[in-house]
Amino acid sequence: MSKFKNDLILRAARGEKTERTPVWLMRQAGRILPEYRAVRASLSGFKELVETPERAAEVTIQPVDLLGVDAAIIFSDILVIPEAMGLSYEMVEKKGPVFPEKIRSEKDIDQLHIAQPDELTYVYQAIDLTVKDLDGRVPLIGFAGAPFTIFCYMVEGSGSKTFSKAREMLYARPELAHRLMQMITDSTIGYLKGQIEAGANLVQVFDSWAAILSKSIYREFSIPYLKQICDALDGMVPVTLFAKGANFSIDDLAALNCRTIGLDWNVPVDFAKANAGDKTLQGNLDPAVLYASGRDIAKHTEKMLAAFGNHPHIANLGHGVYPDMKPDAVRTFVNTVKEYRHE
C-alpha distances out from residue 120 to 11, 56, 123, 141, 200, Å: 29, 14, 6, 17, 15
Size of the residue set binding ligand CP3 (CB under 6 A): 22
Q: Does the active-site annotation cover 153?
A: yes
* 300 forms part of the interface with ligand CP3 (CB under 6 A): no
CA distance 304 to 96: 31
Show contacts with ligand CP3 in window 272-291 (CB under 6 A): none
- Catalytic residue (choose from 14, 27, 137, 173): 27
Contact (CB, 8 A) for 74 and 30:
no
Contact (CB, 8 A) for 281 and 273:
yes
Q: Does the active-site annotation cover 55?
A: no
* 259 forms part of the interface with ligand CP3 (CB under 6 A): no
Burial class of 59 by CB neighbour count within 10 A (0 to 12, 13 to 18, 19+): buried
* 75 forms part of the interface with ligand CP3 (CB under 6 A): yes
Q: Does the active-site annotation cover 40?
A: yes
* 67 forms part of the interface with ligand CP3 (CB under 6 A): no
DSSP 187-199: HHHHHHHHHHHHT
Which candidate, 274, 301, 282, places its Cα nearest to that of 22? 282
Contact string (CB under 6 A) for ligand CP3, positions 119-148, x = contact: ------------------------x-----
* 68 forms part of the interface with ligand CP3 (CB under 6 A): no
* 73 forms part of the interface with ligand CP3 (CB under 6 A): yes
Binding test (CB under 6 A) with ligand CP3, winner from 10, 22, 32, 40: 40
Q: Which is nearer to ligand CP3, 187 or 298 (CB)?
A: 187
Smallest distance, ligand CP3 to C-beta of residue 50, A? 8
Amino acid found at 339: E
CA distance 239 to 14: 10
CA distance 92 to 79: 13
Instruction: Please report the sign of the dihedral spanned by the C-alpha atoms of residue 128, residue 130, residue 132, residue 137.
Output: negative
Which candidate, 105, 185, 110, places its Cα nearest to that of 145? 185
Binding test (CB under 6 A) with ligand CP3, winner from 4, 99, 124, 206: 206
Q: Does the active-site annotation cover 77?
A: yes
Considering only 12-20, 73-81, 107-115, 294-302, which stretch makes contact with ligand CP3 by CB under 6 A?
73-81
Smallest distance, ligand CP3 to C-beta of residue 56, A? 9
Q: Which residues are catalytic?
A: 27, 31, 40, 77, 153
Contacts with ligand CP3 by CB under 6 A lie at: 26-31, 40, 46, 73, 75, 77-79, 91, 96-97, 143, 159, 206, 208, 244, 320
